[in-house]
Structure 1
Amino acid sequence: MTERVTLITGASAGIGTELARVFASNGHRVALVARRADRLATLAGEITARGGAAPIVIACDLEQPDAGTKITAALAAAGVEVDYLVNNAGFGLFGRALELDREQQLGIIALNIRSMTDLTLRLADQVIRNGGGILNVGSIAGFLPGPGMAVYYASKAYVLSFTEALRGELAGRGVRVTALCPGPVPTEFQERAGFQPGFDSTILNVSASEVAKAGYRGLMADRRIVLPGLGIKIVPFLLRLFPRGFILAAVGRFQLRKR
């Protein structure tokens, strides 16, 4: 029988690292994917030291078009199949879209959208065959238009829409499909995006560890969407109370005030 693994992208930091720890602590053998091989090796050593199965380390830049081919080849070489796929890798940039670097913004699309879609389509047959699940890490941003982080917000709207549609298509196939949509989380994301956490981070903040635990529980319970933290849970409800134009203007004023 082919050994099964949980593939986690963006595992070298933040929520991805915590997801690896949570899955490993619950008996999953994990395959860790990110650019930084040294961090992956350190995490793999930690998991093994705690009694977990030795992780598979796949150092790979997911922004590159051939990333999916490299990952599937590494899994085949290790003689494993994926039963759980965790598409966590992603980044954003803060600022006005027309003022930010075009290539970097296209990189957001390559990582947050193309890579997630590619891996899902490549590995879905394995997930279905093994009766596992797919956890796509989105954001509360996916529910909103985002002046000040336009491409990032749009990318997370794609993650949410794609995940919900895939869940509908796979209904009855014995596969869990869940979107994990956290609010502000204190990780390296903010530094790379180019802004300092503000009042929203203070009142909506949930740690990366708690987000990962909520995501794992939600996936295993086959929940459609997981919104970690009490503050975040009310956001979709509040959005139904106001016109889209009002939300657009309010988010724009709030976001651009961070400049």
Structure 2
Amino acid sequence: MFDFADKTVVVTGGSTGIGAAFASELARRRARLVLVARGEERLRSLAASLTKAHGVKVEVLAEDLAKPGAAKRVRDAVHGLGLTVDVLINNAGFASYGPFEAVSLETQREEIDLNIGALVELTHVFLPDLERRQGGVIQVASTAAFQAVPFMAVYAASKAFVLSFSEALWAEYRERGVRVLALCPGATDTPFFARAGEEAAFGKKASAEDVVRVGLEAFDANRSHVVHGLGNYFTALSSRWFTREFVARLSARLMRPRTPSLAAQNPR
């Protein structure tokens, strides 16, 4: 089992949702945390509560990871604190929902920059630390990584990248002592849908705490990826059982917007 006690863990998107759940569980395991997100006030509030509850040191970095140069600024800030990172948890990301042409290009480009660009850059700048400390990285992907998802086309494609990228690094670095895990949750009860829209949620929402539990168990086992939930696991396998065209058409039927203002832009 990977022992997080006295290890330094960087968690992006660390103020809410799955990121906050990771922070809470790892604080319980006595890790030293560096939480990264845009909202400094929320970060400081969480850090204070974790320190009070568990007596651990929690640093906060307010940074918009979609902005150019953010990864290097985070690395420099972490090293400026005199810390060498043992584990990186790339959790920051968001989804846009609706007909492709109805979502602004600016929003979709920001989605790519955060979900892919920032994740790759952060992994790259922290890999020397991770190898030196024989640690690893947890990349929060999604069950959307396993098939096309109409009306969330960019999000699903970005998570497919994360899954493929993570599995490649797992194979490349495992003999060098670095763990790489792609954690693939389905719909989770977090503020994620406040931006994506509740219509983007399909199926029962899992708790962020249970997603984190499954992720850390898989990280302990040095797995390349893990899907949270049995139902999500079988859904992820659907493209193996059926044609990709069938799965895409079925997904389009399930994900089609029900809100008139969105559905009108995408008639049957």
Question: Structure 2 length normalisation: TM-score?
Answer: 0.91
- How far 1:150 sits from its partner (Å)? 0.6
Matched, 1:178 2:188: no
- How far 1:4 sits from its partner (Å)? 4.7
Percent identity of paired positions between Structure 1 and Structure 2: 39
Distance of 2:255 and 2:198 partners within structure 1: 10
What corresponds to 2:71 in structure 1?
A: 68
Matched, 1:238 2:238: yes
**Matched position secondary structure for 1:240:** helix
Amino acid in structure 1 at the alignment position of 2:203: S
**Matched position secondary structure for 2:89:** strand
Determine if contact 1:195/1:258 at 8 Å carries over to the other structure: no
Equivalent of 2:13, from 10, 15, 26? 10
**Matched position secondary structure for 1:32:** strand
**Matched position secondary structure for 2:150:** coil
What corresponds to 1:51 in structure 2?
A: 54
Determine if contact 2:86/2:136 at 8 Å carries over to the other structure: yes
Distance of 1:218 and 1:46 partners within structure 2: 27
C-alpha RMSD of the superposition: 1.4
What corresponds to 1:89 in structure 2?
A: 92
Distance of 1:228 and 1:64 partners within structure 2: 30
Equivalent of 1:194, from 191, 194, 197? 197
- How far 1:52 sits from its partner (Å)? 3.6
Residues 219/52 of structure 1: CA separation in 2 closer, same or farther (3 Å cut): farther
**Matched position secondary structure for 1:170:** helix
Determine if contact 2:199/2:257 at 8 Å carries over to the other structure: no
Determine if contact 2:30/2:54 at 8 Å carries over to the other structure: no
Determine if contact 2:72/2:122 at 8 Å carries over to the other structure: no
- How far 1:257 sits from its partner (Å)? 4.2
**Matched position secondary structure for 1:81:** coil
**Matched position secondary structure for 2:99:** coil
**CA-to-aligned-CA distance 1:109-134 (integer Å, 9 cap, x gap):** 01000000000000001001101011
Amino acid in structure 1 at the alignment position of 2:81: A
**Matched position secondary structure for 2:22:** helix
Determine if contact 1:109/1:155 at 8 Å carries over to the other structure: yes
**Matched position secondary structure for 2:199:** coil
For residues 100-115 of structure 1, what are the structure 2 equivalents within 5 Å? 100-115=103-118
**Matched position secondary structure for 1:172:** helix
Matched, 1:99 2:108: no
**CA-to-aligned-CA distance 1:127-178 (integer Å, 9 cap, x gap):** 0110101100000000010110110010000000100011111121111111
Q: Which runs of 4+ in 1 moved over 2 A?
A: 194-198, 236-239
- How far 1:24 sits from its partner (Å)? 1.5
Unaligned 5+ segments in structure 1 are: none
Determine if contact 1:30/1:55 at 8 Å carries over to the other structure: yes
Distance of 1:258 and 1:11 partners within structure 2: 32
What corresponds to 1:118 in structure 2?
A: 121
What corresponds to 2:215 in structure 1?
A: 215
- How far 1:191 sits from its partner (Å)? 1.5
Residues 197/52 of structure 1: CA separation in 2 closer, same or farther (3 Å cut): farther
What corresponds to 2:169 in structure 1?
A: 166
Distance of 1:258 and 1:84 partners within structure 2: 41
- How far 1:237 sits from its partner (Å)? 2.7
Amino acid in structure 2 at the alignment position of 1:101: S
Amino acid in structure 2 at the alignment position of 1:137: V
**Matched position secondary structure for 1:6:** strand
What is the number of equivalent residue pairs in this alignment?
A: 254
Amino acid in structure 2 at the alignment position of 1:190: F
